[in-house]
Amino acid sequence: MTTKTLIRPETPESRPDPVEVTVIDTDVHVEPRSFDELIGYMDVPWRDRAIKARVPFRRAGFTTFDVAGRMDAYPETGDLGSDPELVEKHLFLDDPIDYAILLPWSLRGFTVDPALDTALAGAVNRWLAETWLSKYNTENRYVGSISVSVEDPVGAVREIEEWAGHPGFRQVAISHYGPRPFGHPMYDQIWEAAARHRLPVSIHFKGGATQPLGWTSTGPLQFFVEYHSLIAPMAYATHMASFICNGVLDRHPGLQFLFLEGGFLWYRPFVDRMGRHWQKTAKEFPTRKTPLQYVLDHFRFATQPVEEAADPLQIATLFEEANAGDLLMFSSDYPHYDYDPPSKALPRALDVQVKKKIMAGNALEFFDLPKTRPGDRFDRKGGR
Amino acid sequence: MRYVVGAVADLPPGSSTVVYPDKVKSGIGVFNVGGQFYALKNTCPHMGGPLCKGRVRGTTEADATDEERVGMHWVREGEIIACPWHHWEFDIRTGRTLFASRQRVRSYPVTIEPLEVLERLKKGVETIPVSVEGATVVLDI
Amino acid sequence: MIIDCAVHPVLSSERFNKFVGGPWNLRQLPTLFGEKYGAPFDQLAVPADEASSPAAVANCLRGAKIDYAVLSPTTFGYWPNPHQGVAVAQAANNMLAEDWLNAPEADGRFLGSIRVPMNDVDAALGEIERWADDPRFVQIVVPARGLATYGDQRFFPIWRTAAERGLAIFIHDDLSAVVEPPPTQVGFPSFYAEIHALRPLSGIVHLTSFIVSGVFERLPDLRVVLGDVSVHEARALAIRTDKDWQSDRIEVPWMTKEPTAYLERHVRFVSQPEDEISPHSLRSTGTLGGDNSSLVIFGSRHPYWDGVNADEVFPKWSGEERARCLGGNAVQFYPRLAALN
């Protein structure tokens, strides 16, 4: 009797071929269904309804006039960005990305009490670990951020220590406001903890409770259109100079920062000015590199809201003059109103290789993510 | 081809709906602005957002009557749609952006057909499953 | 022809105190560069006595082949006491006219800037009227750092008068400021190098404010010169405002075009030292918001340490484009320089 081994026909369910990662979205905001869901993750002394009144989520002075979220992204029940099915559809099917870097947005820096701020960050981290990084993360497409309160450095370090070992968390996330620029020694323990765990730090623009909203070096802004375009890049330029001049990058040579939602083209004239007379101006502190070299080694920028111009060649030239291929990473800001879809975000005339690095290559390195992933149900559903 | 949107009675002034004919999968928004019907492709020419899911509203207009200061009026209530992505404003009647640009959303002719015409058109008309008992909104796509 | 649009005479304290009179001269004047952020080097490129000598400055400009120089002395920013603010502006203008514009060594080549107190608009208008009939005053100079953005309605009469009288507005950062909100929105930086890098941002805030608040729409003849801002940095941020204007145009319906489209008619940027190393500077035309070769005007920033030499600006541009930057653009832009054509 002879036996014959038959090759088993491949079922549609098995897709052994790995899928190349071509789109990483570095700015996706997921939220609990409601604030009550988050309160359930807070430590006992905080589980007090009264904290709701102490956490003003809205800063009504500077907002867009139409709905702040993508109107097509509100679930039937629950808050914007809280429904896993709807988020999956938008992120992995409609205009598909491979990985989403999650930055729960509404929950950091919204209180004047630093202890409560850290307690909220801790609850966000526990909630994210239990939901979007585990039970909602069946296909392993979500990548988490450790939320910390930058105004409470001791609490921030505690949070980093607690979550750095969790494989789902790949960066530390902070908001842009602090009472002094971020090179000040008061923050160094945060950067030290991030560097020790080889976690990059992303900085997101947000109107926190302690921030004098809309104030600039020359008085308060008046219009949302000035606020939304200027506040983030002005703060980021300040922090960038502060990191460079205060030695943070020399103390932590492996540390990298990502500036989210604050534009990109401005950094080049800014560091050109800083670097123009660097031998003279940098005499007050030890320094090892030029400002431009620090930027190339340590700072990255997310695209959204992507700088646009009517002339596609003009904007592509500006991108290339600002080293877009090395420094820029795609972001959509899903599910907010100014969402940039991956298929349309970049200037059309940009070089193909540069586009590839912006859409995925730079983020793969920055977050140390695998270049391929298993095919999954989204690929099958999307016919990818 | 022609596409039956539904009964006029179901689209009173100030209301709108989005239909999804096979030929235009992303959908077409049909708007009743003060008794006149307009149809726009549900795709924003800027970044492809589902334009017709946005807010139908009025807009502001500068008021230059006082030389001493700038002012504004609220005007054209119900004639403007703001895209749910990036809030670009479009004139529902023309499909043009309110700020000067070369971008324009595709629009489609809309007609109101009485019941008897509709019966004649029935063959070759793609319909949505609604029972139509009076004048009907029909799109040319 | 070379027109130097940014020359900063240093008003010697002793002489200034004579002009400002009592009781203000009982108070000590602030130091020129402020107390907080001392640079680790001398911020004057020439000896102090030369920086405050009309003859020495005229001689220096002659050596650099400058035909005309627009002078704007610093007066320590915004003054808290409104009476002192008025006295300081008046003293600065009197001293500029008497000691500098009338100096025989100037040979008619010094042009002036009218200082106005920003905390008292009526007094500012009075000061403009006092000098506006003198054709040598070609602009009004205002500090880049104030307590309000310049699109604010309270300042509008100043801009309207400037436009009516053919005076440009020069926004310049006096390093020493008597009233000083934190120089960044996230607090005080640690070092001079940071402050120096961040300096253009205040001017960019005012530029954005002028545009979105409708000042340029209401005053089609208003001309604004930014003293400390490179055209590239302004453009890189105005691109962002273009987008926010598209999204929230209903907030500012008086605007008829995108923010970058206002630059060409209303704004010029004084040449900055970083223009020499910026990759953007290689291109003279085809840039967003207008050609670089139209938007930049030459300013040496004499006597400051981070000056710009006329023969070193934009070396890659054609001779015709360099000539525009060195003189042609200023003649075209400043209403009161049109006669030089």
CATH number of the domain that residue A169 is part of: 3.20.20.140
Residues of chain A with Cβ-Cβ distance to C185 below 8 Å are 211-212, 215-217, 231, 234-235, 238
Q: State the smallest CA–CA distance between residue A329 and chain C in angstroms.
A: 17
Rg of chain C (C-alpha set): 19
Segments of chain B with pLDDT less than 70: 121-133
pLDDT at site C339: 87
Q: What single DSSP character describes residue C226?
A: E
Q: CA C111, C116, C121 angle in degrees (round to 5)?
A: 145
Q: Give SS3 for C315.
A: coil
Q: Kindly state whether residue A76 falls inside one of the protein's structural domains.
A: yes
Nearest CA in chain C to B100: C257
CB contact set of C157 (below 8 Å; sequence gap of 6+) = C121, C125
Q: How far apart are CA A294 and CA A246, in angstroms?
A: 12
**What is the distance in angstroms between the Cα of C261 and the nearest Cα belonging to chain B?**
12
Q: How far is B54 from chain A (nearest CA, A)?
A: 7
Cis peptide before A96 (omega within 30 of 0): no
Q: Tens of pLDDT along C210-226? A: 999 999 999 999 999 99
Token digits for A203? 């900085």
Q: Per-residue pLDDT tens for A204-249?
A: 988 778 888 899 999 999 999 999 999 999 999 999 999 999 999 9
Residues C113, A21: Cα–Cα separation, whole Å: 60
Cβ pair B85:A339 closer than 8 A:
yes
Residue A313: which of C288, B65, C340, C149 has the closest Cα? C288
Nearest to A265 among C40, C230, C239 (CB): C239
Residue C111: phi and psi, rounded to 5, are: -115, 155
Name the residue range of residue C131's domain.
Answer: 3-340
Find, among A207, A213, A208, A258, the residue nearest to A236 by Cα: A258
Best to test chain C binding among B88, B99, B102 (most C CBs inside 10 Å): B99
Question: Which of C230, C266, C301 lies closest to C4, judged by CA?
Answer: C301
Q: Is there a domain that residue A1 lies in?
A: no
Q: Is the pLDDT of residue A9 over 50?
A: no
pLDDT the model gives residue A191: 98
CB C107 within 8 A of CB C44: no
Residue A349 three-state SS: coil
Confidence check on the interface: ipTM exceeds 0.85, yes or no: yes
pLDDT at A237: 98
- Closest partner CB to A66 (pick from B50, B87, B102): B87
Is A77 among the domain residues? yes
For residue A260 the two structure tokens come to 């989210």
Do the beta carbons of residue C286 and residue A310 sit within 8 Å?
Answer: no
| pLDDT of A1 strictly over 60 | no
Per the domain annotation, does A4 fall within a domain? no
Out of C41, C191, C202, the one facing A285 most closely (by C-beta) is C191
Would you say how long chain B is, in residues? 141
A259 pLDDT band (50/70/90 cuts)? very high
Q: Which residues of A touch C187 (CB under 8 A)?
A: 178-181
Q: Which residues of C touch A174 (CB under 8 A)?
A: none
Which of C214, C253, C258 comes nearest B61 by C-beta? C253
Token duo for residue A291: 């400002």
In-domain check, residue A9: no
Domain membership of residue B29 as a residue range: 2-140
Q: What is the mean pLDDT of chain A?
A: 92
E strand intervals along A214-279:
215-216, 219-220, 257-260
Contact A155, A115 (CB under 8 A): yes
Tell me the C-alpha distance between A31 and C92, whole Å.
Answer: 58
Residue A221: inside a domain: yes
Containing domain of residue A276, as a range? 19-370+376-380
- CA-nearest residue to B72 within chain C is C253
DSSP annotation string for A120-182: HHHHHHHHHHHIIIIIT-TTS-EEEEEE--TT-HHHHHHHHHHHTT-TTEEEEEEES--SS-T
Tell me which chain B residue has its CA closest to the CA of residue C246: B88
pLDDT at A348: 94
Q: Does residue A239 fall inside a structural domain? A: yes
CATH of the domain at B36: 2.102.10.10
Is it the case that residue A57 has pLDDT exceeding 80? Answer: no
**Nearest by CB: B84 against A310, A337, A340:** A337
Interface of B with C (CB under 8 A): 59-62, 64, 68-70, 72, 86-89, 98-100
Identity of residue B38? Y
Burial of C104 per CB tally in 10 Å (0-12, 13-18, 19+): exposed
Residue in chain B closest to A90 (alpha carbons) equals B49
Asked if B85 is an interface residue toward chain A (Cβ–Cβ < 8 A), one would say yes
pLDDT at C179: 80
The H or E element spanning position B29 is strand B28-33
Task: Give A4's pLDDT tier (boundaries 50, 70, 90).
Answer: low
Nearest CA in chain A to C255: A225
Nearest to C326 by CA among C312, C316, C339, C338: C312
What pLDDT is attached to residue B123? Answer: 60
Residue-level pLDDT at B122: 65
Say which CATH number the domain at C245 has: 3.20.20.140
CA–CA dist B125, B138 (Å, integer): 10
- pLDDT of A8 reads 46
Whether C172 has its CB under 8 Å from any CB of chain A: the answer is no
Please state, in angstroms and rounded to a whole number, the distance separating the CA atoms of residues A106 and A211.
Answer: 15
Domain count, chain B: 1
Residue A111 CA, chain-centre distance (Å), reads 21
- Are the CB atoms for A121 and A155 separated by under 8 Å? yes
Q: How many domains does chain A have?
A: 1
Helix (H, G, I), strand (E, B) or coil at A318: helix
C window 239-278, beta carbon within 8 A of A: 239-245, 247-248, 250-252, 272-274, 276-278
Q: Which of C148, C151, C248 sits opposite A65 (nearest CB)?
A: C248
User: For chain C, what is the domain count?
Assistant: 1
The tens-digit pLDDT sequence of chain C (341 residues) is: 999 999 999 999 999 999 999 999 998 888 888 888 999 999 999 999 999 999 999 999 999 999 999 999 999 888 999 999 999 999 999 999 999 999 999 999 999 999 999 999 999 999 999 999 999 999 999 999 999 999 999 999 999 999 999 999 999 998 878 887 899 999 999 999 999 999 999 999 999 999 999 999 999 999 999 999 999 999 999 999 999 999 999 999 999 999 999 999 999 999 999 998 999 999 999 888 999 999 999 999 999 999 999 999 999 999 999 999 999 999 999 999 998 87
